[in-house]
Amino acid sequence: MDIGFYVKKYLNAFVIAGRNYTMYKSVHNRLKANSKTVVLDNKQKNEINDFFSKYGKVTWKFHNFYTEKTGDYYVNYIPDDIYFTKIDKYYNDYQLSKVIDNKCYYAGLFQDFKQPVKLADRKGDYWFVDNQVMPLEQVLDKLCEESAIFIKAATTSSAGGGVRFIDKHSCENYRQKIKQTIAHMNVDIVIQKPIVQHKDLSKLNESSVNTMRLLSVFRNGEVKIYSSLLRIGKANSKVDNGAISVGITPDGKLKEYGYYLTGERVTSHPGSGVVLEGYQLPSFDKAQELVKKAHLCVPHFKMISWDIAIGEDSEPILVEANLSDGEVSFHQLNNGPLFGDDTKEILNEVFGK
């Protein structure tokens, strides 16, 4: 009997169970904080129960949140807890994603696609510049030649929490600031040049790189994009997280409303004042093409949330590939039921019906 095999098996099961519990509590806590009014009637609640009955018991409260905030009721909204604990778990290997989804290795993993310029990275205990091991002090010499840098946690930058922007002109001691920042990050690190984005995206909010978030699913030998939106940062913020998301139409234009994750909606960007509806985005078709091709580089992961910037040259730039735990709320706030007409087919596949 291989005791190690069983220990590893049950340890893996424990990790996954812990992840599912954490995600379940997180989405329910957010729901409790942001949905205060019941807008569904008994007929709609019963319809939801009937639709999901063969997949197990579901709460109608996520449907209520989306209906309350958007004014649109659909029976095939995906409840957030089912998305994270069942659908994402089915299509993606959570533990494998923690290994593969490391920005230090993006250059090799997605080598055919334009990416932010990498200046240096720390993998394990070693620093690298151009794939050559280099002492930290020499790395700092290289970084100090740049006027500004982004320092990113290579594996844990969810919601912008692991991203730091350092500008030489706003620091008394640029070198020391960089050194202190990386000293407080105990994970792999990638350091990049700031992206110069397309002027039409800069008009929406010039302080942040405003990225397209595309969710793709690889099934039946085909990559299909199910939802597309633009995330626009707050005024004076260097990241696009925490502000608003806006749905993108098939012809690359913004929809009427933008949403915060709380469900609050706006018709123009609070900082720039630019009206959202009908705003034409550059190179949306190129961003879609990149996603469909890049997904084939990681076929073990069937559902991926991609962050794509558009450079000043109108070419798409792959910023991040979320190989698990990609957000669902802002997709359904902006674009309705995540899987549209395919909802039943996908649920049947996930639940083995």
Residue 207 is assigned to a structural domain of this protein:
yes
The predicted structure's pLDDT at residue 273: 95
Q: Answer whether 263's CB lies under 8 Å from 34's CB.
A: yes
End-to-end CA distance of the chain: 35
Question: Is 334 a domain residue?
Answer: no
On whether both 147 and 221 belong to a single domain, the answer is no
Write down the pLDDT at residue 67. Answer: 98
Segment 270-277 mean pLDDT:
95
Q: Quick check: is 100 in a domain?
A: no
Q: Is the pLDDT reported for residue 8 higher than 80?
A: no
Between the alpha carbon of residue 154 and those of residues 21, 55, 105, 186, 232, the distances in Å are 24, 36, 9, 11, 22
What mean pLDDT value characterizes the chain? 92
Q: Based on the structure, what is the number of domains in the chain?
A: 3
Lookup: tokens for 332: 């359904």
Amino acid identity, residue 271?
G
What size, in residues, is the chain? 353
One domain, residues 156 and 239: no
145 and 261 in a single domain? The answer is no
- In this structure, the answer to whether residues 201 and 308 fall within a common structural domain is yes
Shared domain check, 286 and 201: yes
Q: Are residues 132 and 202 in the same domain?
A: no
Query: 74 is written with which tokens?
Result: 């659909």
**Residue 1 pLDDT:** 46
Instruction: Examine the pLDDT at 149 and tell me if it is beyond 60.
Output: yes
Out of 154, 173, 192, pick the residue that ends a domain: 192
The mean per-residue pLDDT over the stretch 138-157 comes to 91
Backbone angles phi, psi at 255, to 5 degrees: -80, 180
Please give the residue range of the domain that contains residue 226: 197-323
Domain-located, residue 67: yes
Q: Are residues 210 and 308 in the same domain?
A: yes
Q: What radius of gyration do the chain's Cα atoms show? A: 21
- Using pLDDT thresholds of 50, 70 and 90, give the confidence band for residue 5: very low
- Note whether residue 271 is domain-resident: yes
Mean pLDDT of 298-311: 97
Checking if the pLDDT of 81 tops 50, the result is: yes
Is residue 202 domain-shared with residue 188, that is, in the same domain?
no
Q: Is the pLDDT of residue 2 over 70?
A: no
Name the more confident of 5 and 267: 267
Tell me the mean pLDDT in the region 16-32: 84
Would 333 be classed as within a structural domain? Answer: no
Quick check: 160 pLDDT over 60? no
